[in-house]
Structure 1
Amino acid sequence: MKIIFLNDLRKIPTIQKQLFLKKSIFINLENFYMNEELDANIKQLRINDLLSKDEMSQFKNFFLQTLLNLSQQINAPWWAAYNFTSKNPLSSPLYQNMLYLMCINKIMASNTAEAIFIYCSDNNFINILKKTFHKKALIINKTKRSFSLYNRFKCAPILTNVIFLIRILRRMFLSKKNLSFPQNTKSATIIKSLILPSSFQKNEEYRDLYFHNLLENTPNLSQVLILVNVLNHFKSYLSKIKHSNHSGHQIYPLEYFLTVKDIVNLFLNQIYEYFHVFIKYQNSIPNISFENFNLKTTLIHTLYKELNSNQWLKNLTFFYATKNLSQEIKIKKFIYPFENRSSERLCIKALKHYSPNTSIEGYQHASIHQEHLNFIMLQDEHKITPLPHKIWTTGTWPKEYFIQKGNFPKNLLGIGGALRQNFTEQTQAKKIKKYKIFTIGIVLASGEFEYIGLISFLNQISALKQYRIIIRPHPEISFDVIRPHFKHLNFNFTIDGEIPIEEFLNKIDLIVYASTTVSFEAIFKGIPALCIHYENCLNLDPLFKNNDLKWDIFKPSDFIKSIDEIENLNEEIITKRTQQVRTFISNYFSPMPMELKQNFLL
């Protein structure tokens, strides 16, 4: 068997001739939809073609059990700093890499082809596959490689991590120089949040991404301190933070609470962790087998790559900043957007050790999709996982999901209500007797990865030319970031990301999406939705539990068929389905009671 990696389809005919291949299989592991015409001797497969629903379910259970076993077996102080330990497939490539390897092994075991062409330009995955299959197959790498100075620089992890620590040190000095901590603050409620462009309004007033409605209803802001993670443009945001602090807020980047000693410890901890990866973990981690296929090599490689990526160090900064803050003042309550990520767990670990009387509360702030494995606990897993004392959900449905599907303890959960979403009976549904689709709204979210995947899928649908298309990018990510990836698009469109969401929804007859929660707002108004499943194996649809006004699109030919089905619905069915949708969403996002809103931060 031959496994051939490439990122240029034009090479396939030449490779076929050189290797005398008569029967091959082609799979695409990139994040865009591919529907190219290939040679008749090449069978094109998607990951979803290779695995049944039962097999996918078995693999997810295996993945969850594997990580639980590792957490129980490995007694290392900073194990939780690895992103893959949170189990979220979007935080680490471990889940997808394991799944891809298993599928490739399944193809090889079937002996139905002489070669497997894999469209992939991820050199990390190529290296993993080489180590895994070097005894079973001839690995041929025909990808175009970039030998830029930047790529060579990334291959020097010690150097990049030292530079990262220097950046943290610079941020620390800038924070302490520009901001001052009020001496009269002896105790406070801490909000952990994030700084993005939308965190500041045009007048530069601060608007918290998660807890703005709570802060509006808090009479004494001096009792609330906001600990923020600034992703980039640190110096620019620091001046805005300084302006907001003069207006009554208390906002501090997490680097403000770091010390030089902490940064030295970060470096020493990482050196010590390299020792763990190269020596201890190699011997202490047992073989990880799924259907007699060993995946230990993948795990070790992921450990090494995550340790080199700076994210491991970044997660540790949350621990040290929370620890120092808890020693600076008495933290009455620590509130954060609950996603069960590594950085959250390290904050909890610091609080439970250094500030044991602090009430730690997580707020489930957004929708849930099937790939949120970080929201699933196996039996007794909650006993070894750093969790808050209380998790507030946006409504009844998420609470029941956490209990029944996620296996979270009942006493850990409470219904808080929606802070960022507003679904009430006063929001009128469109009065529709018959659907007629003229204008389609395409809503993008989740970053460049989704932009490319969704647009490349839609670019295969020639019938889109007959509709008016409005694209609404995510507020933080310009549509321009993906223009270099497409020589041309096969449909005309306008971009309308500045207008209020209500105005946008009033313009469209159909919404097209992959993961955005705008889909909830659309169907709540009676607007039908098409969910595009462009990804090979991840289902990011937040509406996966409701299909009343939503149609799943797995291949381009499904698109027009679904529109025909929508336009053939009669008034009785439309009314019934709209009522069912509104009931479902009202249970998903219920309004937060005013009494709870006023006391949440106290």
Structure 2
Amino acid sequence: MIIKKELSEILSLLSNLNISNHSIIWWAFNFTSKNPLSSGFFDTYFHKKKSTFQSPHLKLIKNIIWFFLNLIKSMYLLIQTYFFFISLENEKSKINVHLFSFVDGRKRGNMDTYFRDLITEIIKSNPKLKVSYLFYVYRPYFRNNSALKFEKNKKINLLSYLSIKDFFWCFFQLFRIPFLKINFSNLRFKNSKKELNYIIRSQMISEMTTGFIDNLIIFRAFRRISKLGQIEKIIYPFENKSLEKLMLLALDNIKSVGYQHSSVSPRHFSLILSKDEIKINPLPEKIVTIGEITKNWLINVGNFPEEIIETGVYLRGNRTLKLRKRSFDKKNPKLLFVFSSGYDEVKKTINFLDKGNEVLDSYKIKFRFHPDFPIYGLNKYYNNWITNNVDSISKKSLNEELKWCDILVYISSSVVIEAILAKIPVINLSIDIYNSDPLLNKKLSLKKVVTNNKDFKKAINYFSEISSKDNIRLYSESINYIDKYAISKTKLDVKTFL
């Protein structure tokens, strides 16, 4: 279990390591982005720091074994990528603007996961521009790529730009990992240099097959694009991930616009940089936010340069649902639990509810899983708990589920924005060490924050007694904040992105 003091320690450590070691190879490791969800470095760091029973020789042998095992796995991944690459059409036409997006198996429909119908709006307002999607398809390639078969707009697969030389280059970079010099000059040591070197080296080896090799492939593909000189601008979902930094380093002659496409929270450490770290962190020429709140947060908390940040709109927002919620029976509330940030969030919620199981039978509980973290990814214990205690799993549209529920319960999901817009009261389970509230801990009339079952019941009772008139008043107070946080896409000005 990580405590706040340890969390501050690891964030400072990673920031200083980034300042001292920034390079193409360094950024290819996901742990450098300081995201506890995309890398196991946070837990690994404190687990290994407290493990003193292993001898130095045993640690070395263990790392050598893991390196060669992951080397074999990396070769397999490269071969997988190569077979997908040779199946792609090699179309390299002149394009003015690329919308770079990701395909990960989610149903796309007729809109993009991140940009929705932005490409249509750009083409409509600038008919002379040649605009195209540039897609990076996640593994499994062929299955996920099938989601694009109904895409009507022009599309190009990022990996189609690769050449056989790029695969060999990526393979040889793997051999640099055991010998990569790590600069600790910017650090104050609480532990020995050897111990810290072992922890970081172990993490590098573990990431060989979980991001490192794919990030390098992305870098090489963008470098090919840059050399061709056929693209003027690229618009991409901005999260300050490792692959984004490699993309920007490769596209040194192409204009770039990052779209901060979703909510932010104090847990988004990849968006919180020190004043020295921001100087070496690759950034786009412009960052377009979803609203004023996130713009100010990036500047004041994240230390991003004010001159590159511009207020945009919430392209993914849904303001079509306008409910007039009424009071409900506090003994039999309909609770919609929404998840977004991995299985750990689901497990913590189940553990939380299990402590108050004397009232579970009277609650109507529905779980809504994130597409990236479906229910079948949970182990047998948690699946059985859900079977015995949860009334149903959400399979309908978000609008339908919001119409059904009396209260929305969340830890980190941006669905809270849609809920408040639909006049639905929300309860934030503040049970995450990382402080994951996407509303940035703002006190709102339609929101209650709870840390235990006693407060959870109180919040349900409070919202159950709100009359229809009171609900409208509370909605009016809360919507002022949401309107600034996630500006309606009806106010879209395409020029903001161009």
Normalised by the shorter chain, which TM-score bucket?
0.7 to 0.9
User: Structure 2 length normalisation: TM-score?
Assistant: 0.86
**Aligned AA (2:411):** A
The answer to whether residue 86 in structure 2 is matched with residue 176 in structure 1 is: yes
- Alpha-carbon distance in 2 for matches of 1:97, 1:153: 14
% of aligned pairs identical?
A: 27
- Alpha-carbon distance in 2 for matches of 1:240, 1:440: 32
**Aligned AA (1:302):** I
Q: How does 1:406-555 map to 2 (within 5 A)?
A: 406-423=302-319, 427-432=321-326, 436=330, 438-462=333-357, 463-482=359-378, 484-486=380-382, 487-489=384-386, 492-535=389-432, 537-548=433-444, 549-555=446-452
* SS across alignment from 1:78: helix
Contact 1:452 1:485 (8 Å CA) reproduced: no
Contact 2:327 2:465 (8 Å CA) reproduced: no
The answer to whether residue 285 in structure 2 is matched with residue 285 in structure 1 is: no
- Alpha-carbon distance in 2 for matches of 1:422, 1:328: 39
Query: By how many angstroms is 1:173 displaced?
Result: 3.8
**Aligned AA (1:325):** I
The answer to whether residue 127 in structure 2 is matched with residue 225 in structure 1 is: no
- What is aligned with 1:251? 156
**Aligned AA (2:248):** I
Contact 1:435 1:566 (8 Å CA) reproduced: no
Query: By how many angstroms is 1:447 displaced?
Result: 2.9
Unaligned runs of 5+ in 2: 56-61
- What is aligned with 1:167? 77
- Alpha-carbon distance in 1 for matches of 2:346, 2:429: 12
The answer to whether residue 29 in structure 2 is matched with residue 79 in structure 1 is: no
- What is aligned with 1:400? 296
Q: How does 1:108-127 map to 2 (within 5 A)?
A: 125=47, 127=48
**Aligned AA (1:249):** K
- Alpha-carbon distance in 1 for matches of 2:392, 2:64: 35
Shift in alpha-carbon separation, 1:192–1:516, aligned structure 2, 3 A: same
Q: How does 1:581-600 map to 2 (within 5 A)?
A: 581-592=478-489, 596-597=493-494, 599=495
Spell out, residue by residue over 1:456-488, the C-alpha distance to the aligned partner (whole angstroms, 9 max, x if none): 322332111112222222234432332613344
Query: By how many angstroms is 1:79 displaced?
Result: 1.5
- Alpha-carbon distance in 1 for matches of 2:136, 2:260: 18
Contact 1:70 1:285 (8 Å CA) reproduced: yes
* SS across alignment from 1:212: coil
Query: By how many angstroms is 1:586 displaced?
Result: 0.7
Shift in alpha-carbon separation, 1:336–1:372, aligned structure 2, 3 A: same
Could you tell me which of 78, 97, 102 is aligned with 1:189?
A: 97
- What is aligned with 2:58? none
- What is aligned with 1:215? 119
Query: By how many angstroms is 1:296 displaced?
Result: 6.9
**Aligned AA (2:161):** F
Shift in alpha-carbon separation, 1:157–1:562, aligned structure 2, 3 A: same
Unaligned runs of 5+ in 1: 1-28, 30-46, 102-124, 136-151
Query: By how many angstroms is 1:225 displaced?
Result: 3.4
Could you tell me which of 365, 385, 403 is aligned with 2:281?
A: 385
* SS across alignment from 1:228: strand
**Aligned AA (2:447):** K
- Alpha-carbon distance in 2 for matches of 1:188, 1:307: 39
The answer to whether residue 51 in structure 2 is matched with residue 67 in structure 1 is: no
Spell out, residue by residue over 1:483-539, the C-alpha distance to the aligned partner (whole angstroms, 9 max, x if none): 61334459643335332212211111111222111122112323222222344x222
The answer to whether residue 239 in structure 2 is matched with residue 339 in structure 1 is: yes
- What is aligned with 2:42? 95
**Aligned AA (1:385):** N
Q: How does 1:234-249 map to 2 (within 5 A)?
A: 234-241=141-148, 243-244=149-150, 247-249=152-154
**Aligned AA (2:111):** R
Shift in alpha-carbon separation, 1:459–1:559, aligned structure 2, 3 A: same
**Aligned AA (2:95):** S
Contact 1:345 1:386 (8 Å CA) reproduced: yes
- Alpha-carbon distance in 2 for matches of 1:494, 1:239: 33
Aligned length in residues? 483
Query: By how many angstroms is 1:559 displaced?
Result: 2.2
* SS across alignment from 1:391: strand
**Aligned AA (1:333):** K
Query: By how many angstroms is 1:209 displaced?
Result: 0.9
Larger radius of gyration: 1
Shift in alpha-carbon separation, 1:299–1:460, aligned structure 2, 3 A: farther
**RMSD (CA atoms):** 3.2
* SS across alignment from 2:99: strand
Q: How does 1:262-273 map to 2 (within 5 A)?
A: 262-273=166-177
- Alpha-carbon distance in 2 for matches of 1:431, 1:489: 27
- Alpha-carbon distance in 1 for matches of 2:297, 2:484: 12
Could you tell me which of 308, 313, 327 is aligned with 2:213?
A: 313
Query: By how many angstroms is 1:339 displaced?
Result: 0.4
Could you tell me which of 34, 50, 54 is aligned with 1:129?
A: 50
